[in-house]
């Protein structure tokens, strides 16, 4: 799976905001220093997150950026969608990979599309169930939650296979 720099660094910046006490803010320079990024890059992430209404700005001498909702109310899917506008699998996804043709040569009957559909569905489910609040917990706790989500998904897939 290919994770873009926008997704990785933007998510790290969002986690910085998620870890703040209620009512506190961080400026772009503060976030940049904490994450080892340029102020310009952090400003770009904050603009994308603000456009998606995940981040708000606070003016004044103690101003900066803060999450617009509680960390437990913001899914990783929302953050990643805001940062990179994830492409869906299926026909929309296929339109992005046409090669030299106007349409994919496999569009009518594709043995690859079910793979992308499944993978896309899994990533969407997983990122919908994880929140920014999860990412400010200790690593061991996060591993437990990710394992639980993966187990749930495998169980759901087995149930679907049994019904088929």
Give tens-digit pLDDT for 60-106: 888 899 999 999 999 999 999 999 865 555 556 666 666 777 777 66
Helix, strand and coil content of the chain, in percent to the nearest 5, comes to 60, 5, 35
Q: Are 87 and 93 contacting, i.e. CB atoms less than 8 angstroms apart? A: yes
Number of H helices, E strands in the chain: 7, 2
Q: Are 130 and 76 contacting, i.e. CB atoms less than 8 angstroms apart? A: yes
- Quick check: helix, strand or coil at residue 73? helix
Predicted pLDDT of residue 60: 87
Packing angle of the helix pair 5-18, 28-35 (nearest 10 deg): 110
Task: Note the pLDDT tens digit of each residue in 4-42.
Answer: 899 999 999 999 999 999 989 999 999 999 999 999 999
Task: Note the pLDDT tens digit of each residue in 115-136.
Answer: 777 788 888 888 999 999 999 9
Opening angle at CA 80, ends 90 and 113, nearest 5? 15
Opening angle at CA 76, ends 3 and 86, nearest 5? 50
Q: Which residue(s) pair with 131 in the sheet?
A: 75
Helix (H) or strand (E) holding 149: helix 139-163
Predicted pLDDT of residue 115: 79
Buried residues in 15-29 as b, exposed as e (16+ CB within 10 A):
bbbbebeeeebbbbe
- Quick check: helix, strand or coil at residue 75? strand
Predicted pLDDT of residue 36: 97
Q: Which domains does the chain have, with CATH numbers?
A: 5-163 (1.10.10.10)
What six digits make up the tokens of 148?
Answer: 């639980």
Single pTM value for the model = 0.80
């Amino acid at each position: 799976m290919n994770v873009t720099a926008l997704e990785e660094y933007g998510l790290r910046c969002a986690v910085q905001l998620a870890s703040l006490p209620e009512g506190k803010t961080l400026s772009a320079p503060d976030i940049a220093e904490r994450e080892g990024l340029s102020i310009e890059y952090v400003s770009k992430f904050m603009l994308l997150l603000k456009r998606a209404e995940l981040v708000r700005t606070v003016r004044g001498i103690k101003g900066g950026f803060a999450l617009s909702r509680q960390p437990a109310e913001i899914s990783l899917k929302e953050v990643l969608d805001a940062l990179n506008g994830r492409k869906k699998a299926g026909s929309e996804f296929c339109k992005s990979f046409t090669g030299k043709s106007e349409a994919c040569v496999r569009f009518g009957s594709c043995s690859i599309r079910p793979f992308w559909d499944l993978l896309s569905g899994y990533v969407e489910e997983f990122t919908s169930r994880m929140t920014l609040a999860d990412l400010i917990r200790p690593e061991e706790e996060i591993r437990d939650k990710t394992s639980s989500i993966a187990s749930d998904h495998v169980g759901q897939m087995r149930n679907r296979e049994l019904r088929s």
